[in-house]
């Protein structure tokens, strides 16, 4: 008779240490170990642990900010709204017509409809950005004046070996922090995270290296793969990033004429670009990137590996800076040894 013995998970804390090394299952006395189960699942488990931690950390940060505001408001004998009016709203200038015009010109390819109608929406958007930046500046100052101790521990660091060999990048070639992004030019969430990446570039400069790898999901974004081939053709002529920006700025499109039009806009040699694109020479390379992404646990876009530490989705700036700052601190500490 075949006997299967399962080790149940309903163990008390005291017995967990003993159970941790015990087999998860046995078949006729032959053990199935935790390592056998967890090793192939490492990317997925790491992703879930990071997501749980990020949710807790975001909520914790929000509560810390609330308490800091309440404490400062009480010190000044004000309500929290009155404090924010005084320190944030009153200190933010109104959005100018020049700022609205610049935003419109920079993004008019994505704006459909009458310009007058969208100008007020642009004004509101830019005003909210200014308010958010000033509020963050005020909260940072309050944190600097208080003793804030965060005891929430991040999950154990799981590093996944992800190659960046030969992929287009920007930033410091020998930067202490390498961010490998798997992205899809037709993915709205990939587009949404671009301003965050721009903020990271501005904040860290050559301390970080941002690497782009292809992960078009053809099943939900038909034609996206061709956009990645076109970007590789632009990379041949040293114009990957301008072409990358144009692809994301425009609505998803997979026509040859669209790709040629963008090539002209970024100043590519049209003959060389058209020959490259029509030859399909980068089809295999894009497939290799997709296979590599799947191997390291990418199931959706965007996905980022910061020195091998996985962050998924269009996360807020803080989710990136927290990991980057930690990696830079580790690099400094390692150099001091």
Q: Would 48 be classed as within a structural domain?
A: no
DSSP line for 278-325: HHTTTHHHHHHHHHHHHHTT--SSSEEEETTEEEESS--HHHHHHHHH
Q: Would 45 be classed as within a structural domain?
A: no
Structure tokens at 90: 């009153």
Same domain? For 101 and 240 the reply is no
Q: Would 275 be classed as within a structural domain?
A: yes
Q: Would 26 be classed as within a structural domain?
A: yes
Same domain? For 76 and 211 the reply is no
DSSP line for 74-138: HHTT--HHHHHHHHTGGGSPPPPHHHHHHHHHHHTTT--S-HHHHHHHHHHHHHHHHHHHHHHHH
d(CA 147, CA 149): 6
Domain around 13: 4-40
Same domain? For 102 and 204 the reply is no
- Those residues of the chain that have pLDDT short of 50 are 1-19
Same domain? For 251 and 307 the reply is yes
Same domain? For 177 and 92 the reply is no
| Long-range Cβ pairs for the range 99-103 (8 Å, 24+) | 99/126, 100/126
Same domain? For 279 and 325 the reply is yes
Same domain? For 183 and 329 the reply is yes
Total domains present in the chain: 3
> Residue 271's domain is classified under what CATH number?
3.40.30.10
Q: Would 152 be classed as within a structural domain?
A: no
Q: Please give the pLDDT value at position 13.
A: 38
pLDDT digits (tens, 9 = 90+) for 35-62: 898 888 877 787 788 789 889 999 999 9
Same domain? For 318 and 214 the reply is yes
Same domain? For 309 and 177 the reply is yes
Same domain? For 134 and 222 the reply is no
d(CA 164, CA 212): 8
The pTM of the whole model exceeds 0.95: no
- β-partners of residue 263 are none
pLDDT digits (tens, 9 = 90+) for 139-165: 999 999 999 999 999 888 878 899 999
Q: Please give the pLDDT value at position 113.
A: 67
């Amino acid at each position: 008779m075949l006997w299967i013995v399962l080790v149940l998970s309903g163990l008390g804390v005291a017995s967990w240490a003993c159970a941790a090394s015990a087999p998860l299952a046995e078949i006729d006395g032959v053990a199935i170990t935790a390592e056998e189960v967890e090793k192939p699942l490492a990317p997925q488990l790491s992703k879930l642990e990071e997501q749980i931690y990020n949710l807790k950390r975001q909520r914790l940060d929000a509560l810390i900010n609330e308490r800091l505001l309440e404490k400062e408001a009480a010190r000044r004998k004000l309500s929290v709204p009155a404090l924010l009016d005084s320190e944030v709203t009153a200190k933010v200038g109104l959005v100018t017509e020049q700022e609205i015009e610049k935003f419109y010109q920079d993004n008019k390819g994505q704006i459909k409809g009458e310009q007058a109608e969208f100008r007020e929406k642009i004004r509101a958007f830019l005003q909210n950005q200014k308010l958010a930046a000033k509020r963050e500046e005020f909260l940072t100052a309050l944190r600097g004046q208080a003793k804030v101790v965060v005891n929430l521990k991040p999950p154990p660091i799981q590093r996944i070996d992800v190659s960046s060999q030969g992929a287009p990048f920007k930033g410091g070639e020998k930067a202490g922090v390498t961010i490998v992004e798997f992205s899809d030019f037709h993915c709205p969430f990939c587009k949404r995270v671009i301003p965050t990446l721009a903020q990271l570039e501005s904040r860290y400069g050559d301390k970080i290296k941002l690497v782009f790898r292809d992960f078009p999901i053809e099943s939900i974004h038909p034609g996206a793969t061709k956009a990645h081939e076109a970007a590789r053709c632009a990379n041949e002529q040293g114009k990957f990033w301008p072409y990358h920006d144009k692809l994301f700025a425009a609505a998803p499109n997979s026509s040859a004429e669209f790709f040629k039009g963008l090539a002209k806009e970024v100043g590519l040699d049209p003959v060389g670009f058209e020959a490259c694109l029509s030859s399909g020479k980068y089809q295999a390379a894009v497939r290799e990137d997709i296979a590599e992404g799947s191997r390291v646990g990418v199931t959706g876009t965007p996905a980022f590996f910061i020195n091998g530490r996985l962050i998924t989705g269009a996360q807020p700036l803080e989710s990136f800076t927290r990991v980057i700052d930690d990696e830079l601190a580790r690099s400094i500490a390692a150099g001091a040894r």
